[in-house]
């Protein structure tokens, strides 16, 4: 992943140094388990642990060996033997490369999940604060991009909060599903290694033994993981798109923070563009691009092949690093979002009262008119207002057929903005539990 869209903590999860250190932990733990079972000498297991933990693995040296061996795990084991010496003959006994690679990937995905879950927690905190700040800030709700009926900006943010609570749950479930360990040897039969070794390593790494690993951990687990990332990325894009629309010049109900010295355009000095949320839209596309390859990795040949390997070496770091960056960026956008209640009110008033049309319709039906007749009366007064030819309430008061059913005072009472937001407390109670 390019540095521009990367954060150090998540990058470190995928560094070669981290990978090799996890590989060593798997190998050393397996040796300790075998020593407990009297398969290898305890002194050897102890020496392997001590010498390996004090060693600084040389990535360049491992790469050099791999250029000859054409095998990354063998290259690592060869380099490890340079530190350990004679006892290295006990390392990797009964294991196959996928035992190390797949178990390591599980650890890395666990760590990545922990970072992403923490990211969502930070985002939820920011959304909640802003939601309560604008709990009763009236704004127009839109369907098909067209003014519909009033809502509040707090309700819009409550929607986002509920969505990212679900995102957090999805990430937690994905973390649990991916947290399995395979130390079962060639084709997964434990022929050359005791299943108790796998159980020991799994416990040491806070993983569960994979029930049937067939030399590789089944890739439906990974497909579910990356699919979860894709859904979370789509939630990021949904909220980013909402902000982009609200920042449009003709709307300008909310706006990304524009810092001192920031420039919006190389050509037009007046521009303040929604660059962060546009960037989030693009990043979401990149995270979702990992989902299809992950799904296609499920169908491997027989007990194993490595058609999935090259895919995961790319999508593992890229998808998690990108989503981590996107969640952090979205948190910053929400935290500093500029909100313009006056513009929200102006937009509410822009259609001359048409946002109250449904309430007038319902009042007419409650006073004896059929729904079809009531709809016709309301629409014939609404369409001139839509064309900019008058005020909705004034036209209704002048319509003899309307005032037969509703007095001018009754009509005026139907244009109360508070009517539309009377259940905001109920919505907030459902979302925030308070």
Known catalytic residues are 144, 265
CB 139 within 8 A of CB 150: yes
Contact yes or no for 75/97 (Cβ under 8 A):
no
Q: How far apart are CA 124 and CA 59, in angstroms?
A: 39
Terminal Cα distance for the chain, rounded = 41
- Counting Cα atoms < 13 Å in the Cβ hemisphere of 26 gives 33
CA-based nearest residue to 90, from 48, 53, 57 = 48
Are the beta carbons of 178 and 188 closer than 8 angstroms? no
Token reading at 434? 């308070």
Look at residues 284, 271, 277, 273 and name the one whose alpha carbon lies nearest to residue 243.
277
Structure tokens, 36: 């407990």
- DSSP-derived pairing of the beta strands 338-339 and 254-255: antiparallel
CA dihedral 398, 404, 409, 413 (to 10 degrees): -100
In angstroms, the CA 300 to CA 306 distance is 8
CA distances from 188 to 77, 101, 303, 304, 346 (A): 21, 14, 8, 10, 67
The continuous run of DSSP H or E covering 143 comes out as strand 138-143
Burial of 6 (0-12, 13-18, 19+ CB in 10 A): middle
| In contact, 389 and 354? CB cutoff 8 Å | no
**What is the residue whose two structure tokens read 């089944």?**
218
Greatest Cα-to-Cα distance within the chain, rounded to the nearest angstrom: 103
| Radius of gyration, CA atoms only, the chain | 30
DSSP character at residue 58: -
Helix axes 424-432, 97-133, angle to 10 degrees: 150
Which DSSP category does 216 fall into? S
Residues 172, 178, 184: CA angle, nearest 5 degrees: 155
Cβ-based neighbours of 133, under 8 Å, separated by 6 or more: 154, 339
């Amino acid at each position: 992943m390019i540095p521009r869209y990367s954060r150090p903590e998540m990058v470190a999860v995928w560094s070669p140094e981290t990978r090799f250190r996890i590989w060593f932990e798997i190998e050393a733990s397996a040796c300790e388990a075998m020593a407990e079972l009297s398969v290898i000498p305890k002194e050897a297991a102890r020496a392997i642990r001590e010498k390996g933990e004090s060693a600084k693995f040389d990535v360049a040296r491992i790469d050099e060996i791999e250029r000859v061996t054409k095998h990354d795990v063998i290259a690592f084991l060869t380099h490890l033997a340079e530190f350990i010496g004679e006892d290295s003959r006990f390392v990797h006994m009964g294991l196959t490369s996928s035992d190390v690679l797949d178990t390591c990937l599980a650890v890395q995905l666990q760590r990545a999940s922990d970072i992403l879950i923490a990211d969502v927690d930070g985002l939820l905190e920011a959304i909640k604060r802003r939601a309560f700040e604008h709990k009763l800030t009236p704004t127009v709700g839109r369907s098909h991009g067209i003014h519909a009926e009033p809502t509040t900006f707090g309700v819009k943010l409550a929607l986002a909060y509920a969505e990212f609570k679900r995102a957090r749950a999805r990430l937690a479930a994905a973390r649990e599903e991916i947290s399995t360990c395979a130390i079962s040897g060639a084709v997964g039969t434990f022929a050359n290694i005791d299943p108790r070794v796998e159980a020991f390593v799994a416990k040491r790494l806070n993983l569960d033994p994979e029930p049937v690993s067939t030399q590789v951990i089944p890739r439906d687990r990974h497909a579910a993981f990356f699919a979860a990332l894709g859904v979370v990325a789509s939630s990021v894009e949904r909220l980013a798109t909402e902000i982009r629309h609200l920042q449009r010049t003709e709307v300008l109900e909310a706006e990304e923070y524009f810092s001192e010295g920031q420039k919006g355009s190389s050509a037009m000095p007046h521009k303040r563009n929604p660059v962060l949320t546009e960037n989030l839209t693009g990043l979401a596309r990149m995270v979702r691009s990992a989902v299809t390859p992950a799904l296609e990795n499920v169908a491997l040949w027989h007990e194993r092949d490595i058609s999935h390997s090259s895919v995961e070496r790319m999508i593992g770091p890229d998808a998690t690093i990108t989503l981590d960056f996107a969640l952090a960026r979205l948190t910053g956008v929400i935290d500093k979002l500029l909100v313009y209640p006056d513009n929200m009110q102006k937009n509410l008033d822009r259609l001359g009262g048409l946002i109250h049309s449904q309430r007038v319709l319902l009042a007419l039906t409650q006073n004896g008119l059929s729904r079809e007749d009531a709809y016709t009366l309301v629409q014939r007064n609404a369409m001139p207002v839509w064309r900019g030819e008058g005020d909705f309430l004034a036209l209704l008061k002048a319509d003899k057929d309307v005032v037969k059913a509703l007095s001018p005072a009754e009509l005026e009472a139907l244009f109360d903005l508070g009517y539309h937001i009377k259940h905001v407390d109920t919505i907030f109670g459902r979302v925030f539990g308070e």
